[in-house]
């Protein structure tokens, strides 16, 4: 049974611990965008002990490379990208305080282990609904790496951004549990 929950960023341990796989959420607040090229640069900064271009504590990163905005619009289409490309970087981001990620597809075992250790959550956004998802993005500000174009880090202001808890901080994984539910025994 799915529970619809409204959550606001930044996330706390209590909020994360109240989320279970299958929960439908509406996210309001700040969400940062970043894909693999930006993640690589962010982790290089962490490894050098340098300051990140934003404070990840309690924040969510949306794995997205939005299309350019049309006149009068905040953002173009903004659908999720495949999350496994961030597997190499996400554990380090969680170590420095990241509490949530939004993407599509399953993330790896190392990410799950770090989510359990540090109380983080992974949300799935619906692929193929980029134009609809973009309607929940009400603000868009460049933060870093403008040279990456659509993959630059952006501060997105969201209102009722729709997502589903796909992997929770207790080890729940909708990709594994959902598949197992329908396998023939």
Out of 39, 114, 119, 154, the active site residue is: 39
Dig out the tokens for 46 from the structure.
Answer: 């962490």
Beta bridge partners of 167: 122, 173
Q: CA–CA separation, 63 vs 168, rounded Å? A: 17
From residue 110, how far is each of 76, 115, 153, 168 by CA, in Å?
Answer: 33, 9, 24, 14
CB 46 within 8 A of CB 90: no
Write b or e for each residue in 105-117: b if 16 or more Cβ atoms lie within 10 A of its Cβ, otherwise e: ebbeeebbebbee
CA nearest 179: which of 79, 83, 106, 85?
A: 106
- Is residue 39 among the annotated active site residues? yes
Strands 153-167 and 24-33: antiparallel
Q: Which residues are catalytically annotated? A: 39
């Amino acid at each position: 049974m799915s529970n619809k929950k409204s959550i606001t960023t930044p996330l706390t341990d209590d909020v994360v611990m109240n989320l279970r796989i299958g929960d439908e959420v509406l996210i309001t607040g700040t969400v940062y965008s970043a894909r693999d090229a930006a993640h690589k640069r962010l982790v290089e900064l962490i490894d050098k002990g340098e300051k990140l271009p934003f404070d990840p504590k309690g924040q969510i990163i949306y794995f997205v490379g939005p299309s350019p905005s049309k006149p009068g619009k905040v953002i173009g289409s903004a659908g999720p990208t495949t999350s496994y490309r961030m597997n190499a970087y996400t554990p380090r981001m969680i170590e420095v305080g990241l509490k949530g990620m939004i993407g599509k597809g399953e993330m790896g075992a190392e990410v799950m282990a770090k989510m359990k250790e540090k109380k983080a959550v992974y949300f799935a956004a619906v692929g193929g609904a980029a134009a609809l998802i973009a309607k929940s993005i009400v603000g868009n500000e460049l933060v870093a790496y403008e040279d990456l174009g659509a993959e630059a880090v952006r501060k997105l202001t969201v209102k009722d951004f729709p997502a589903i808890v796909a992997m929770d901080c207790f080890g729940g994984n909708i990709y594994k549990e959902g598949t197992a539910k329908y396998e023939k025994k």
